Amino acid sequence: MVTATPLTSGLLDATSLLHSFGGWALLGIAVVVFIESGVLFPFLPGDSLLVTAAILGPVLGLSPWLVALVASAAAVAGDQVGYTIGRRFGRRLFTPDARVLKTSHLAEAESFFRRYGPLALVLGRFVPVVRTYVPLAAGVSDLHYPRFARWNALGGTLWACSMVFIGVALGHVPLVRDHIDVLAVVIVLVSVVPVAISAYVKWRRARVAVVEAAR
């Protein structure tokens, strides 16, 4: 059985968070995913929370299918709020020196949205920070609502189900399931990979821009 000790609870945010929810784990997961998805607070462990919930499902008494369903609904609802905020308030909420509502975060999301269009609502789901602001960028861009709703439902569902699927697959690996220290490494990797991919994409764009400018 996997348990969180006082020593590891500070390191495994997702694990300690799930244990702290107790019998309200599903509601806690829904709240975290909802807030991270579109309520302009991107610094929550959405990816790792879903992966960990699936791994610890037998311990916490959580069905992975129920976790996926609840997380999908919360993700779609969160994006809906982000879209509404963007459409109603636009860029007025953001300032260059803000701690959370930074203009640079919105600019990055808008650039991502311009590059991929409505598909950004799917791709952006897998990029931390960007996934919080892409629905806002869609609202600012006045994306036709029916199109937003379709892509939002697809993105939220794919993201939530894929994170839970990864967790279920890892939960069948005894080394991961039965050793909290290995679980710590897995959670860190799950959280870091999307950030690394995002950083690589930015680096490639900058390099291409430099090469084209030199021609």
Chain segment 91-140, per-residue pLDDT in tens: 777 777 766 667 777 777 777 777 777 888 888 788 777 778 888 888 88
The string of pLDDT tens digits covering residues 74-91 is: 999 999 998 998 888 877
Alpha helix ranges (H) inside the chain? 6-9, 13-21, 25-38, 46-55, 57-60, 64-89, 103-116, 120-123, 130-140, 145-171, 174-177, 180-214
Entry pTM: 0.73
Q: What is the pLDDT of residue 95?
A: 74
**Does residue 155 lie in a domain region?**
yes
Residue 208: inside a domain: yes
35 domain-assigned: yes
Query: Range of 149's domain?
Result: 6-214
Instruction: Please check whether residue 1 lies inside any domain of the structure.
Output: no
Would residue 167 count as lying in a domain? Answer: yes
How large is the angle between the packed helices 145-171 and 64-89, nearest 10 degrees? 150
- Per-residue pLDDT band for 188 (boundaries 50, 70, 90) equals low
Residue 148 covered by a domain: yes
Q: How many domains does the chain have?
A: 1
Query: Contact at 8 Å (CB) between 36 and 131?
Result: yes
